Structure 1
Amino acid sequence: MNLSYDLHSHSTASDGTLSPRDLVDYALSAGVDVLALTDHDTTEGLSEAAVAAEGSRLCLVSGVEISVTWGGQVVHIVGLGFDPQDPTLQVGLAELRTFRGWRAEEIGRRLAKHGIADAYEGAKRYSNGHLISRTHFARFLVDNGFSPDMRKVFKQYLTQGKPGHVAGEWAELDRAVNWIQGAGGEAVIAHPARYNMTRTKLRRLIGEFTEAGGVALEVVSSSHSKDEMFTMAKYSRDFSLRASAGSDYHGPETPWANLGKLAPLPDNAVPIWRGWSTEKAVAAV
């Protein structure tokens, strides 16, 4: 029996628009069998998601998407199948959320200087009140007429050189991987083709990730073209890594990144879930 895996998704615990419970319900309706909730720098939504999945056919995997600064840019490392109660992991994630809090206030200050008042307060209303991301600012800006849509708003206001850009100061690559490993999980480079790195730089990233103990690349992603999926599968083979698959689902507002619609892994890619037992897959919450 072929199961449907989606190992990259978000809820209102970070910048998704569905609650963890509603995300689980939607995943079930979309035909997903194994789901990882991978909110940005937090595991806050896992308990609610686990309760929602209990007694259903859905297998929930504990997950997180950790923000990392590497090679002068931000990359994301997904952790899967770890113990969410691990103290070292939680201390590390708390450090990142503290920076996120300052960054959100600074984005608000910079947008105010550009003539956009109350952006911080506006973004906060779109969030859970605890973690405010650039996506929350983007929703505020779009809904208040500063940009036509979510695809354009980042380029207009929130990327390097734009009024609301604040450079990230995130975790080091080896620290992020160590947090995940130390909690009994497996580390994955999220949507590697999206970083627009040169071939040399991407191979260097993958090499350092592998040396740190990382085990997989996200080969299938909603942000990867078919050619990019096959390229990432080749990189996974070159570095003896396994392959993961995730939509990076944030909610119904982004239909191009939907649950239950992922392409299959290329035939020559080794799935990260090969050899997983039920005990390995189910979130320890």
Structure 2
Amino acid sequence: MKNIKSMKIDLHCHSYHSDGLLTPQELLARAHNMQVDVLALTDHDTVAGIQPLIEEQQKYKRSLEIISGVEISTSWHSFDIHIIGLKVDHHNQTFLQRLQQQTQRREIRAQKIDSKLAKAGVHGILEVAKELAGVGQITRAHFARAMVKQQVVSDNEAAFKKYLGKGKKAHVKPEWITMQEAIAWIHDAGGRAVLAHPGHYDMTSKWLRRLVAEFSQAGGDGIEANHPHLAPAKRAIIEELSIEHGLLASSGSDFHFPSRWTELGKNLKMSDKLTPVWHDWQPITN
């Protein structure tokens, strides 16, 4: 059995059940190829991919521990803040019913986005976006891909810059649950609540400090202290805040699909000053 310090532990990734491109089976195969030892699937507002992932792992001789996870969308002041739930009970009926409310909110938002696009002269995007989403939760990423497919824009970034981003023609402010509610949902499902990619929110250091403080006060358990493309200065602030508020430290690639920007299990080591969210988890078994 590996020493836990030498393990590749990735606690944030997505499948096609939300805005990732790979099936759970394809995702697992890639995780094995990248020598990942512990993997949390954290699709947006759904746990639909967890059981297929667990069942697929039974076909492998190589050990890889599956952590049941989710990434819940919340509203905090004017920001969309994501809270990851780790080791949630993905069979918990109350939790599943609560996540279904998020799915309904996504559907309402999608309809509103489509209406705004139509007013801007862009028609028929919702249908294409739903085709691209398939079994997954519909997200703005699906709208962007649909607009590229329909040759409305050249790439996903252009879709957000012209239409989908905050303040743009087809932006719709989401009506997500509060951060406190998401933390309570995760705890009620037996999981730990982790503040996702704090270095990627478009906010000042002052607002980041306030966010982490209120997350901790609301009962949050951990913070992603390491995630892709995190600037050293921002990493130092997050490490400081983790220690200041007694938050456990998590790390994840936020992998969505193969690209040169992110990869499962890559560059996810954390400072020895921090207490990992997995510090009291049982040794890996298969």
Name the TM-score class by shorter chain.
over 0.9
1:49 to 37, 44, 53: 53
Amino acid at match of 2:217: E
1:255 to 255, 260, 267: 260
1:72 to 75, 78, 81: 78
> What CA distance in whole angstroms lies between the structure 1 residues aligned with 2:30 and 2:267?
15
Unaligned runs of 5+ in 1: none
| CA shift digits 1:101-159 (9 cap, x unpaired) | 11112111111111111100111111124521101011111233333322332122111
Corresponding residue of 1:268: 273
Corresponding residue of 2:30: 26
Contact 1:10 1:16 in 2 (8 A): yes
1:204 to 207, 210, 217: 210
SS in 1 for 2:133: coil
Report how far residue 268 of structure 1 moved: 1.4
SS in 2 for 1:126: helix
> What CA distance in whole angstroms lies between the structure 1 residues aligned with 2:253 and 2:242?
18
Amino acid at match of 2:103: R
Amino acid at match of 1:29: N
Report how far residue 278 of structure 1 moved: 4.3
1:176 to 172, 177, 182: 182
Which region of structure 1 is more displaced relative to structure 2, 22-31 or 139-148? 139-148
> What CA distance in whole angstroms lies between the structure 1 residues aligned with 2:132 and 2:45?
18
Count how many residue pairs are aligned between Structure 1 and Structure 2. 280
Contact 1:14 1:128 in 2 (8 A): no
1:87 to 79, 84, 93: 93
Cα 1:67–1:223, aligned 2, differ >3 Å: closer, same or farther? farther
Percent sequence identity over matched residues? Answer: 39
SS in 2 for 1:97: helix
Cα 1:40–1:28, aligned 2, differ >3 Å: closer, same or farther? same
Matches within 5 A, 1:1-285: 1=3, 2-54=6-58, 55=60, 56-129=62-135, 131-252=137-258, 254-278=259-283
> What CA distance in whole angstroms lies between the structure 2 residues aligned with 1:226 and 1:146?
37
Contact 1:25 1:52 in 2 (8 A): no
> What CA distance in whole angstroms lies between the structure 1 residues aligned with 2:215 and 2:226?
18
Unaligned runs of 5+ in 2: none
Amino acid at match of 1:21: Q
Cα 1:9–1:76, aligned 2, differ >3 Å: closer, same or farther? same
TM-score in terms of structure 2 length: 0.93
> What CA distance in whole angstroms lies between the structure 2 residues aligned with 1:170 and 1:66?
9
